[in-house]
């Protein structure tokens, strides 16, 4: 990663970490304090913070004050974290490890993980609603976008398809693309759109953000599929080969590693072209390129 | 129940059922359609619809247009239903029956029940944000109230205490009151407050609503504890005696059935007195009295 990208990324990540700390419930709850520990445990497990970074960067690219994007960015990261906690549950993917640490239910027990996930699904709406920097119209737009994209029509819908695909013999390309568009793509699109909303961007800029997000979201997922086959387990923070083990249809099983790499490269190039529409998009171009060559 | 109370209640319930139908995702989803079935299954299981009725009635008592309260009322009922679905899960209370029907995970499987609950925890915020009748300031206040009361600081917090009490040897009265205040009381308070917010009620009326809600919420829970010992299983729609079987501390174990009945009666009388502050509170008085003598 180029230094200029790395530095800007660290700057954003610092704002996000500080926002997540501000919204932490640790020390603020009574008898139910454990749930705050479980929420923070999963939020602090790290991850790349790609979604909240996109919120902040699109806010900046559209001429908004980046400080206005801190609450929406933290809110989105909470939704993402809630989905990971519930995804890892024994009745779902049954994953013991996440980002190199025991998953939430392994650490806190299943019931606590269900409730910590629930709390992280609801708190984002409170954070946006109670934010001091945003006006009511903007809050309502942010909440409408976040709730629609993370619910049954969006991310949760994608998880439902993913879960039901386990019992399907033939998962075709159309199904796979739809599943990924909802499960991963939708929140990445929402990240870009929430940045636009926080900046009160016009329709034209919002449309461009959406097109960029479409390419990035799909490329991101294809790389994930490739990493499940090729990555170093240590770096990835979870076992590799799980897709193959579960006989999952992925971009790799459909098109092979080379075919999948080719599509990810083409989508990334298209995404980079779209970013030409924005002035000063050097950082985001660097980040987009980095996501293509990432190894975790 | 007096006819006048029964008729008004039916009128409200009809508005609520119609709102829930309007917000149903059945026929509106693609490959993930099952989750809409699971959501509707639990929403349609009935129940008393007390919380949404309180939203609508407090909106009316505070001089608001009842139609403005339909979306917030439906939203609150979804949050309540989400909590029941997750509460019934094997890793939580492990209940096979709910309202006389198989619980959501028994009918649709555990993974689908987790996801249907998740979707019902998120959709309420979308419904309020996208409502046509409410202005943005009102929506933001409703969302702040609903998210705060249902999250880790409220209802979910109460579920955490309840769950952890299973491993505690001595659950004292203070713990029990705090757990009930969060797990049941908080959403009942929110129901009354959301009605006030939808009607843009002044501080004085809001304060009275809150005092009423405190008494009602506690009385409601005490009756629940009594019914777990005394009710007809058929009418209750779930097995009775589960508290005793699990060695749970309840108002009945702390004060005996007579002591519990006495406290519920006193709280109900206090609630009725508080309602004197509102003109035209006949219906709500009747409903409050009915909740004391209900047998399910």
The CATH number for B261's domain is 1.10.600.10
Residue A73 scores a pLDDT above 80: yes
**Residue from B146, B131, B181 nearest B161 by CA:** B181
Residue from B94, B147, B148, B166 whose CB has the most chain A CBs within 10 Å, to mutate? B147
Token pair, residue A126, equals 């409170």
Q: What is the DSSP letter of B234?
A: H
Beta bridge partners of B102: B97
ipTM above 0.85, yes or no: yes
Per the CB < 8 A criterion, the answer to whether B203 and B197 are in contact is no
**Cα separation, B91 vs A229, whole angstroms:** 33
Question: How distant is the Cα of B118 from the closest Cα of chain A, in angstroms?
Answer: 7
Q: What is the DSSP letter of B128?
A: H
**Cα separation, B165 vs B180, whole angstroms:** 12
**Cα separation, B277 vs B256, whole angstroms:** 33
Q: What is the DSSP letter of B152?
A: T
Q: In the prediction, which pLDDT does B2 show?
A: 85
Q: In the prediction, which pLDDT does A108 show?
A: 98
CB contact under 8 A, B147 and A153: no
Give Cβ neighbours of residue B216 (< 8 Å, ≥ 6 apart). B188, B267, B268, B271, B288, B291
- Domain that residue A144 falls in: 3-293
Give buried/exposed letters for B41-55 (b at 16+ CB in 10 A, else e): bbbebebbbbbbbbb
H helices present in chain B, as ranges: 3-22, 34-44, 50-61, 70-88, 104-108, 110-129, 136-150, 155-165, 173-180, 186-198, 203-230, 233-236, 242-245, 251-275, 282-293
**Residue from B62, B197, B209, B212 nearest B138 by CA:** B197
Burial class of residue B56 in the structure, from the number of CB atoms within 10 Å of its CB (0-12 exposed, 13-18 middle, 19+ buried): buried
CB contact under 8 A, A163 and B29: no
Q: Where are the beta strands (DSSP E) in chain A?
A: 97-98, 101-102
**Cα separation, A57 vs A195, whole angstroms:** 7
> Count of alpha carbons within 13 Å of B186, Cβ hemisphere only?
25
**Cα separation, A127 vs B221, whole angstroms:** 30
Token pair, residue B83, equals 């909590």
Chain B residues closer than 8 Å to A146 by CB? 125
Q: In the prediction, which pLDDT does A151 show?
A: 98
Q: In the prediction, which pLDDT does B262 show?
A: 96
Question: Between these two residues, B232 and A127, which has the higher pLDDT value?
Answer: A127
Q: What is the pLDDT of residues B15-54, one digit of tens each?
A: 999 999 999 999 999 999 999 999 999 999 978 999 999 9
Residue ranges in chain B whose pLDDT is less than 50: none
> Between the CA of residue B259 and those of B35, B224, B243, B272, what are the distances in Å?
44, 14, 17, 20
Q: In the prediction, which pLDDT does A56 show?
A: 98
Report the domain count for chain B. 1
**Cα separation, B43 vs B32, whole angstroms:** 18
Q: In the prediction, which pLDDT does B138 show?
A: 98
User: For A260-276, what is the mean pLDDT?
Assistant: 97
Q: What is the pLDDT of residues B147-186, one digit of tens each?
A: 999 999 999 999 999 999 988 888 999 999 999 999 999 9
Q: In the prediction, which pLDDT does A166 show?
A: 87
**Cα separation, B173 vs A119, whole angstroms:** 26
User: For A44-58, what is the mean pLDDT?
Assistant: 94
Return mean pLDDT, chain A.
Answer: 95
Q: In the prediction, which pLDDT does A245 show?
A: 77
H helices present in A130-202, as ranges: 136-150, 155-165, 173-180, 186-198
Q: In the prediction, which pLDDT does A294 show?
A: 86
SS3 B98: strand
Question: How distant is the Cα of B76 from the closest Cα of chain A, in angstroms?
Answer: 13
Nearest to B178 among A31, A118, A125 (CB): A31
Residue A277 scores a pLDDT above 80: yes
Chain A residues closer than 8 Å to B158 by CB? 32
Q: In the prediction, which pLDDT does B285 show?
A: 97
Residue A47 scores a pLDDT above 90: no
């Amino acid at each position: 990663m180029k230094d200029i990208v790395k530095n800007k990324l660290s700057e954003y990540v610092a704002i996000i970490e500080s926002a997540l700390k501000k919204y932490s419930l640790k020390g603020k709850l009574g008898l139910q304090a454990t749930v705050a520990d479980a929420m923070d445990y999963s939020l602090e497990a790290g991850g790349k913070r790609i979604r909240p970074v996109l919120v902040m960067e699109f806010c900046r690219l559209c001429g908004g004050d980046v400080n206005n994007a801190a609450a929406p960015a933290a809110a989105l990261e909470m939704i993402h974290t809630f989905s990971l906690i519930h995804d890892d549950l024994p009745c779902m993917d049954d994953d013991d490890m996440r980002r190199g640490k025991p998953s939430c239910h392994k650490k806190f027990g299943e019931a606590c993980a269900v409730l910590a996930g629930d709390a992280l699904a609801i708190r984002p709406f409170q954070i946006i609603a109670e934010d001091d920097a945003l006006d009511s119209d903007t809050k309502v737009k942010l909440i409408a976008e976040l709730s629609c994209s993370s619910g049954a029509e969006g991310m949760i819908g994608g998880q439902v398809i993913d879960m039901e695909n386990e019992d399907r013999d033939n998962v075709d390309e159309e199904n796979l693309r739809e599943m990924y568009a909802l499960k991963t793509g939708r929140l990445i699109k929402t990240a870009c759109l929430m940045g636009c909303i926080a900046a009160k961007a016009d329709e034209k800029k919002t449309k461009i953000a959406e097109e960029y997000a479409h390419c990035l979201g799909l490329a991101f997922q294809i790389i994930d599929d490739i990493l499940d086959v090729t990555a170093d387990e240590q770096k990835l923070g979870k076992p590799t080969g799980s897709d193959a083990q579960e006989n999952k249809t992925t971009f790799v099983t459909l098109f092979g590693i080379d075919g999948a790499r080719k599509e990810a490269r083409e989508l990334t190039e298209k995404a980079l072209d779209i970013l030409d529409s924005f002035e000063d998009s050097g950082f985001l171009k660097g980040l987009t390129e980095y996501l293509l060559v990432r190894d975790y």
